[in-house]
């Protein structure tokens, strides 16, 4: 007999969050503590010292009395214990507790800051406060979570989403963190677009910046230069198309051909993803720049005058294509593998030739994947800033303009904000175009019936050009990487080509001493920081991304469209903007995390989450819903269904999300460069520093090391997550002969 959750009077989840709330209020320091995890604060005056005291101790000592109302939010849920969920009072109590606690926490956080009242009206109303408060710490964080989840439990008990606590809490959690870390900073940043130099607000300022000729000029049609907006758009469309086609080619070669070196090819396509940005740009310069090897070779052999053709659109296009094709590949491989073989087999038996099967069944079924891949390529290109920085020449794009608007001599936040809005419009436009193209068709292909077919091979007419393209790309990629490696072991590129390991020694030397290993190399600090931050960010990103994907594909609830829009928004915002907006939003209470590692982790989660979401959506929409439903009718609740059915079937998507977010966290630069601090320096910003000092050798050596480290991490993750046994009769596809 099934235990009925509606008739229980003990609620483990409720008890957990009540305890969490009390711990947050009574035990943990309420305000932010530097170096929390060294636990030095424990012996440094805790729990009475004002800096380290929990909220309850502060109040007890007559300080920060405005925290008191929150205690009510901790008392109310106690009354709900022992009641049934169906009891209307249960729901009311929890909703009231959550709303009071959470609402008050936010309200006091925004109204009282480091200089007392944050708003003039509050001062006018209540008079001088004579006290102040700093950013919230773990106590506040845990309390806020407790209030939030008490609230969602109350909502669920009222019958929302069939009373499903997991789903309601997941929605609540995602909404709150996306609001806090996407909408709030962006809103703060965008208001900057209307701020005049003397601090007032004016729409005129915005208009003059928005209609600037530098943005929208069409000079290139008559031989001049076009506006940066057009430049970005043109580049992004090209990159989106090319990477999608190339990604599809690789996915086809790996899954549907008799090609023997699939694994090697697969590894090769992953390389650019694990390469820090601008490294590909640097390698292209080493090859095709004015004194690049290829350029020199051709001018020596054929007397061709070296030109600067690389700098501008061609260079950025090549670099971005190299860099982003693997993203398209990762998206498409899942989709191509996911197309149910029985569909293709069915078509074959309907007298379709291999080519017709491909054209009429396989390709249309891959449509969601293709659309996703294009969107990713488009947005990545829009947001990329490393390559245009290195290779852009006179071809200015939005992302670099934003960067220079902020770090350059201009320091014009308003301009950066306006440019960011233009960028946002483009990416959102692409987002809607994709929606429109996909329409309402269902692309479900993995059904609950054990699927026992095998994928047919590509038609020969297709496989030859596809293989050829793949080989050319592979060869080119290999050359690029050989150049990178070679560049790291020569004294000084183009000037002194003697082989040396000195760059590696400078960066990564260590000594073994009595007291242990001494990491004496210059790069170690940033290296460890990077690894740590990436390792923390990756699983969090994957979790948030997949839960969001689950909500989007499997649940219906009011406001779902807005929800999807919100989660996708952070993806459409280039890292540069994230960086700047985070600095603006998070260097003052209530959330004061600039200069910490947390801000880096958070920025990575919300930069990379959409990839997890997309990967999750693409694979989840291929899982037949009857699988979830039968799990539910067998007595599993939605959390158990998520964990035992959906997650295992989604392993490829999880792997993709994990790998991608880890790697992105290690190679990201655009947001990072604003957010690093002396204590938390990241590898990429360290390398950029080296490049600025013309220390190319060290920069490339460090990059090479990173590439190898990430390679091993990726391999390790692949090993841990393992491959899903979907249970096709053969995992290999049939041979052509």
Q: With CB under 8 A as the contact rule, which of the stretches 60-68, 96-104, 288-296, 632-640 interacts with another protein?
A: 632-640
Q: Tell me whether residue 92 or residue 728 sits nearer to another protein (CB atom).
A: 728
Cβ atoms of residues 602 and 585 within 8 Å: no
Q: With CB under 8 A as the contact rule, which of the stretches 397-405, 574-582, 633-641, 654-662 interacts with another protein?
A: 633-641
Candidates 321, 381, 638, 704; binder of another protein (CB under 8 A) is 638
Question: What 3-state DSSP class applies to 37?
Answer: helix
Q: Does 3 sit near another protein (CB under 8 A)?
A: yes
Q: Tell me whether residue 163 or residue 377 sits nearer to another protein (CB atom).
A: 163
Cβ atoms of residues 178 and 570 within 8 Å: yes
User: If we measure between CA atoms, which residue out of 129, 248, 178, 274 comes closest to residue 552?
Assistant: 178
Please give the span between the terminal C-alpha atoms of the chain, in angstroms, as a whole number.
56
Q: Tell me whether residue 164 or residue 681 sits nearer to another protein (CB atom).
A: 164
Tell me how far apart the alpha carbons of residues 307 and 515 are, in angstroms, rounded to a whole number: 56
Q: Does 555 sit near another protein (CB under 8 A)?
A: no
Q: Does 630 sit near another protein (CB under 8 A)?
A: yes
Residue 63 φ/ψ, nearest 5 degrees: -110, 160
Q: With CB under 8 A as the contact rule, which of the stretches 15-23, 89-97, 251-259, 641-649 interacts with another protein?
A: 641-649
Cβ atoms of residues 134 and 31 within 8 Å: yes
Q: Does 255 sit near another protein (CB under 8 A)?
A: no
State the minimum distance, in angstroms, from the CB of residue 449 to another protein. 5
Cβ atoms of residues 518 and 510 within 8 Å: yes
Q: Does 723 sit near another protein (CB under 8 A)?
A: no
User: If we measure between CA atoms, which residue out of 203, 150, 213 comes closest to residue 176?
Assistant: 150
Tell me how far apart the alpha carbons of residues 567 and 545 are, in angstroms, rounded to a whole number: 9
Chain positions 134 to 163 lying near another protein, rule: CB under 8 A, are 159, 162-163
Q: Does 468 sit near another protein (CB under 8 A)?
A: no
Q: With CB under 8 A as the contact rule, which of the stretches 49-57, 232-240, 446-454, 500-508 interacts with another protein?
A: 446-454
Residue 53 φ/ψ, nearest 5 degrees: -70, 145
Tell me how far apart the alpha carbons of residues 409 and 411 are, in angstroms, rounded to a whole number: 6
Q: Does 649 sit near another protein (CB under 8 A)?
A: yes
Q: Does 732 sit near another protein (CB under 8 A)?
A: no
User: If we measure between CA atoms, which residue out of 669, 658, 657, 509 comes closest to residue 574?
Assistant: 669
Q: Does 447 sit near another protein (CB under 8 A)?
A: yes
Question: Binding pattern to another protein, positions 676-705, x when CB under 8 A?
Answer: ------------------------------
State the minimum distance, in angstroms, from the CB of residue 502 to another protein. 51
State the minimum distance, in angstroms, from the CB of residue 337 to another protein. 14
DSSP H or E run through 718: helix 696-721
Q: Tell me whether residue 587 or residue 718 sits nearer to another protein (CB atom).
A: 718
State the minimum distance, in angstroms, from the CB of residue 649 to another protein. 6
Chain positions 573 to 592 lying near another protein, rule: CB under 8 A, are none
Q: Does 27 sit near another protein (CB under 8 A)?
A: no
In this structure, what is the dihedral angle of CA atoms 112, 117, 122, 124, given to the nearest 10 degrees?
160
- Compute how many residues bind another protein; rule: CB under 8 A: 41
Tell me how far apart the alpha carbons of residues 587 and 381 are, in angstroms, rounded to a whole number: 29
Question: Binding pattern to another protein, positions 531-550, x when CB under 8 A?
Answer: --------------------
Candidates 500, 624, 711, 721; binder of another protein (CB under 8 A) is 624
Q: Tell me whether residue 89 or residue 425 sits nearer to another protein (CB atom).
A: 89
Q: Which residues contact 681 (CB under 8 A, 6 or more apart)?
A: 525, 526, 529
Q: With CB under 8 A as the contact rule, which of the stretches 34-42, 398-406, 626-634, 659-667 interacts with another protein?
A: 626-634
- DSSP E strands in 45-142: the ranges are 112-113, 116-117
State the minimum distance, in angstroms, from the CB of residue 619 to another protein. 13
Candidates 220, 648, 677, 716; binder of another protein (CB under 8 A) is 648
Q: Does 629 sit near another protein (CB under 8 A)?
A: yes
Residue ranges in 669-695 assigned as alpha helix (H): 672-675, 683-692
Q: Does 171 sit near another protein (CB under 8 A)?
A: no
Candidates 631, 670, 685, 703; binder of another protein (CB under 8 A) is 631
DSSP H or E run through 133: none
Q: With CB under 8 A as the contact rule, which of the stretches 113-121, 369-377, 386-394, 719-727 interacts with another protein?
A: 719-727
Candidates 356, 434, 555, 640; binder of another protein (CB under 8 A) is 640
Tell me how far apart the alpha carbons of residues 542 and 659 are, in angstroms, rounded to a whole number: 9
Q: Does 644 sit near another protein (CB under 8 A)?
A: yes
Candidates 6, 222, 305, 732; binder of another protein (CB under 8 A) is 6
Distance of alpha carbon 628 from the chain centroid:
27
Cβ atoms of residues 377 and 321 within 8 Å: no
User: If we measure between CA atoms, which residue out of 406, 475, 423 comes closest to residue 235?
Assistant: 423
Q: How many residues does the chain have?
A: 737
Report DSSP state, residue 457.
Answer: P
State the minimum distance, in angstroms, from the CB of residue 726 to another protein. 5
Q: What is the DSSP string of 188-233?
A: HHHHGGGB-TTS-B-HHHHHHHHT-HHHH-BGGGGTS-B-HHHHHH
Q: Does 729 sit near another protein (CB under 8 A)?
A: yes
Tell me how far apart the alpha carbons of residues 530 and 713 are, in angstroms, rounded to a whole number: 13
Residues lying near another protein in the complex (CB under 8 A) are found at 1-6, 159, 162-164, 446-452, 624, 626-627, 629-638, 640, 644-645, 648-649, 724-729
């Amino acid at each position: 007999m099934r235990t009925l959750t509606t008739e229980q009077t003990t609620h483990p989840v409720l008890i957990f969050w009540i305890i969490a709330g009390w711990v947050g209020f009574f035990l943990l320091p309420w305000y932010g503590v530097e170096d929390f995890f060294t636990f030095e604060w424990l012996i440094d005056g805790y729990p009475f010292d004002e800096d380290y005291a929990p909220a309850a101790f502060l109040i007890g000592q007559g300080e920060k009395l405005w925290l008191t109302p929150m205690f009510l939010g901790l008392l109310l849920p106690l009354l709900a214990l022992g009641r049934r969920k169906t009891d209307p009072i249960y729901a009311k109590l929890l909703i009231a507790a959550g709303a009071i606690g959470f609402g008050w926490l936010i309200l006091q956080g925004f109204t009282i800051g480091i200089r007392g009242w944050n708003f003039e009206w509050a001062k006018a109303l209540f008079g001088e406060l004579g006290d102040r408060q700093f950013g919230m710490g773990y106590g506040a964080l845990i309390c806020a979570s407790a209030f939030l989840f008490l609230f969602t439990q109350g909502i669920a008990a009222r019958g929302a989403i069939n009373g499903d606590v997991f789903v309601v809490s997941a929605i609540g959690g995602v909404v709150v963190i996306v609001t806090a870390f996407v909408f709030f900073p962006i809103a703060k940043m965008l208001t900057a677009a209307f701020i005049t130099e003397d601090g007032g607000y004016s729409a005129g300022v915005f208009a003059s910046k928005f209609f600037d000729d530098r943005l929208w000029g069409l000079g290139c049609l008559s031989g001049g230069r076009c506006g940066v907006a057009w430049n970005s758009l043109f580049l992004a469309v090209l990159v989106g198309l090319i990477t999608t086609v190339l990604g599809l080619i690789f996915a086809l070669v790996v899954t549907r051909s008799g090609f023997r070196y699939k694994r090697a090819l697969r590894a090769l396509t992953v390389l650019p993803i694990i390469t820090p940005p601008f490294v590909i740009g640097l390698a292209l310069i080493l090859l095709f720049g004015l004194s690049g090897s290829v350029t020199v070779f051709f001018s020596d052999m054929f007397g061709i005058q070296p030109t600067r053709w690389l700098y501008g659109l061609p260079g950025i296009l090549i670099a971005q294509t190299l860099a982003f094709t693997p993203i398209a590949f990762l998206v498409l491989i899942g989709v191509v593998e996911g197309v149910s073989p029985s569909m293709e087999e069915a078509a074959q038996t309907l007298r379709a030739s291999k080519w017709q099967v491909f054209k009429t069944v396989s390709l249309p079924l891959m449509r969601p994947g293709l659309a996703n891949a294009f969107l990713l390529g488009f947005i990545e290109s829009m947001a990329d800033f490393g390559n245009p920085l290195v290779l852009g020449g006179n071809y200015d794009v939005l992302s670099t303009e934003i960067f220079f608007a902020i770090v350059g001599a201009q320091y014009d936040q308003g301009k950066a904000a306006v440019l960011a809005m233009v960028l946002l419009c483009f990416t959102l436009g692409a987002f809607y175009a994709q929606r429109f193209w996909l329409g309402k068709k269902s692309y479900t292909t993995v059904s609950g019936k054990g699927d026992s077919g095998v994928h047919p091979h590509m038609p020969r007419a297709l496989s030859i050009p596809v293989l050829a393209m793949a080989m050319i790309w592979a060869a080119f990629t290999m050359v690029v990487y050989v150049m990178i490696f070679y560049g790291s072991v020569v004294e000084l590129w183009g000037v002194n080509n003697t082989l040396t390991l000195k760059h590696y020694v400078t960066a990564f030397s260590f000594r073994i001493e009595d007291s242990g290993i001494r990491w004496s190399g210059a790069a170690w600090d940033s290296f460890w920081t990077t690894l740590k931050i990436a390792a923390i960010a990756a699983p969090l990103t994957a979790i948030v991304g997949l839960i969001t994907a689950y909500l989007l594909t499997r649940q219906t609830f009011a406001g779902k469209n807005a929800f999807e829009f919100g989660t996708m928004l952070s993806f459409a915002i280039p890292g540069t903007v994230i960086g700047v907006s985070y600095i603006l939003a998070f260097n003052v209470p209530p959330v004061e995390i600039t200069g910490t590692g947390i801000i880096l982790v958070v920025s990575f989660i919300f930069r990379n989450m959409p990839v997890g979401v997309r990967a999750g959506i693409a694979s989840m929409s291929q899982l037949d819903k009857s699988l979830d439903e039968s799990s539910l009718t067998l007595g599993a609740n939605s959390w158990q269904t998520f964990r035992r059915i959906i997650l295992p079937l989604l392993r490829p998507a999880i792997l993709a999300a994990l790998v991608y977010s880890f790697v992105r966290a290690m190679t990201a630069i655009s947001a990072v460069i604003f957010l690093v601090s002396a204590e938390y320096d990241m590898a990429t910003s360290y390398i950029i520093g080296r490049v600025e000092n013309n220390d190319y050798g060290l920069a490339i050596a460090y990059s090479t090391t990173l590439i190898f480290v990430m390679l091993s991490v990726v391999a390790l993750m692949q090993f841990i997550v393992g491959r899903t046994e979907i249970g096709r009769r053969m995992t290999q596809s049939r041979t052509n002969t």
